[in-house]
Amino acid sequence: MTLPASGPRALAVCLLSGIALSLAFPEPSLAPLAWIAVAPLIVIGAGASPRRGFTLAFVFGLGFFSLLLLWVSAVGWIAWLLLVVMEAAMFGLFGLGWSLIARLGRVWWMFAGPALWVTVELVREYFPIVGFPWGQLAQGQVATLWMLPTAGIGGAKVVSFIVVAINVCVALAWLGEKDRSAVASTGGRRATGSSFARRIGFVGVAGILLALGPFVGLLRPHTDTSTEPLKVAIVQGNAGPGVQVEDESARVDRHRALTEELSAEGLDLVVWPESSVGIDPTLDADIAAKVADAALAADAPMIVGANLEAGDDRYMVMTLHVDRAGEIVDRYQKTHLVPFGEYIPARSLIGGLSLLQQVPRDAVAGNEPRNFDVEGTEVATVISFEGDFGPLVRDRIDAGARLLVVATNTSTWGRSWASAQHVAMSQVRAAENGVPVAHAALSGISAVITSEGRVLADTPLYEEATLVHELAPSDFVTFYARTGEWFPLLCLAITIVAASAGARSRRVDTVG
């Protein structure tokens, strides 16, 4: 079978390939699809002009994000459409760059193609507005945990690099099986034969897929039992699905009651999720007393997700460190807010749009990270959207944290794939930094995650629930946590060199 090189059929193949890639992510979690879903785009885009390459990858992105982010439609189909189109345009940059890089010899394909994909993921982390990294390929590999140890080398983008490299191998094997009119991308010479290309493809797939992840996992030291574990409880007080207003005091009561039931557990830390306290406890004595009663009953320090007033119809998204006596001893203010979710950019210009009335007031961003000292262990805390950004979490681990708390509220998204996808993000953060994670979600899915990214226990959606588990703070952190974003910067450099070289070379059409 020959893949169409142009026309509507080529666009249809790219669209379907993008949809297939989305199924690798939770909740379908058909991770192996990611190893082949990008290959058709690589084959079809290899002989395209830059404009055509952009279009092919844009259509691929439409297929991918339209299904992956379907849950965004819970706040409106226009919001879903705008986000899908913006993110698909980012994928268009991959197609544009690939049309140039594919002109080089196929030895370049194995390195420059994956590097280009990583570069696009890097760009998506910062643009548009404040970035949206959802859909990084590592997030789609949590069902194959043996792939994740490589994230400890240079972050989650190493996993993305490997997945795309596998797709390049598949593409090379495919091209090697084409008819004799298939033209190699090195000066227009004919392909040297299907057996050699097929061998390169399958050896590459077997070597990268089966050896690299497990090999890195074997080399990586595991958490030493010399570190005293913390007995951690996650309290999921629940909230109704969708965008709705509920009795905030009753929500605090639910969390307090669940916490009081844990009084005999001998806990070292209790975690309440984002938005569990929606009334400012520093201004409302009754709410403060309820939080204090919970800490006293559990006889344990707590990390509590709360909203505090900031005056002038603004608020702060916080996590509060409450000691055993019920006193607030430290606080962290969310630094990376969700645009159009927690605040409206340029509200004075566009704030009147009916679509934006679901965000009646703006949150105020904090200006610094904050780790909490819990029972002698430094604990990093991030709030919801922040956990999606590898560099942001890594900075807190590098600052000394050895346990990560992700406090989130995904109740808006109903029983969609959003909650499972967010847990996958926390699994990736655990593996790339080498620290365990307590992922506390207001309405689920809450999860306890090991430093390798494995889920030890989780909760169902929209049920009041608690999780109690011992988590040993890590005695080490990964190479990535110590060194930072060297790998995506290396990929950016490779991309610039390869794309520049491709732009100077003459175009060679690759027959699919």
Considering the domain architecture, whether residues 163 and 300 belong to the same structural domain is answered as: no
pLDDT above 70 for 14: yes
Domain that holds residue 342: 230-477
Question: Is there a single domain that holds both residue 435 and residue 491?
Answer: no
Tell me whether residue 2 is in a domain: no
One domain for residues 214 and 314: no
Longest CA–CA separation in the chain, Å:
80
Q: Are residues 182 and 289 in the same domain?
A: no
Residues 215 and 236 grouped into a single domain: no
Same domain? 468 vs 498? no
Tell me the CATH number at 368: 3.60.110.10
Contacts of 440 (CB under 8 A, 6+ apart): 234, 235, 236, 271, 272, 273, 274, 305, 405, 406, 407, 408, 446
Confidence at residue 180, expressed as pLDDT on a 0 to 100 scale: 34
Residues 178 and 288 in one domain: no
Q: What is the mean pLDDT of the chain?
A: 88
Domain assignment present for residue 208? The answer is: yes
Residue 383 has pLDDT above 70, yes or no: yes
Residue 509 within a domain? no
Residue 413 above 70 pLDDT?
A: yes
pLDDT for 223 equals 52
Residue 328, classed as helix, strand or coil, is: strand
Categorize the per-residue pLDDT at 7 as very low, low, confident or very high, splitting at 50, 70 and 90: confident
In a domain, 512, yes or no: no
Chain segment 321-340, per-residue pLDDT in tens? 999 999 999 999 999 998 88
Lowest mean pLDDT among 234-248, 362-376, 377-391, 422-436: 234-248
Q: Which three-class secondary structure state does DSSP give residue 204?
A: helix
pLDDT band (50, 70, 90) for residue 375: confident
Same domain (yes/no): 195, 247: no
How far apart, in whole angstroms, are the C-alpha atoms of residue 282 and residue 306? 10
The SS3 of residue 104 is coil
Q: Are 268 and 202 within one domain?
A: no
- Domain shared by 202 and 277, yes or no: no
Please report whether residue 1 resides in a domain: no
Q: How far is residue 490's CA from residue 209's CA, in Å, rounded to a whole number?
A: 22
* Spatial distance between the Cα atoms of 465 and 52, rounded to a whole number of angstroms: 51
Tens digits of residue pLDDT in 96-135:
999 999 999 777 898 999 999 999 999 999 988 789 999 9
Choose between 344 and 140: higher pLDDT: 140
Is there a domain that residue 112 lies in?
yes
Predicted local distance difference test score (pLDDT) of residue 345: 81
Q: How confident is the model at residue 437 (pLDDT cuts 50, 70, 90)?
A: very high
Classify residue 252: in a domain, yes or no: yes
In the chain, the number of structural domains is 2
Q: What is the mean pLDDT of residues 234-240?
A: 94
**Same domain for 271 and 175:** no
Q: Quick one: which H or E segment has residue 160?
A: helix 156-176
Decide if 59 is inside a domain.
yes
Residues 403 and 445 in one domain: yes
Taking residues 51-67, report their average pLDDT. 97
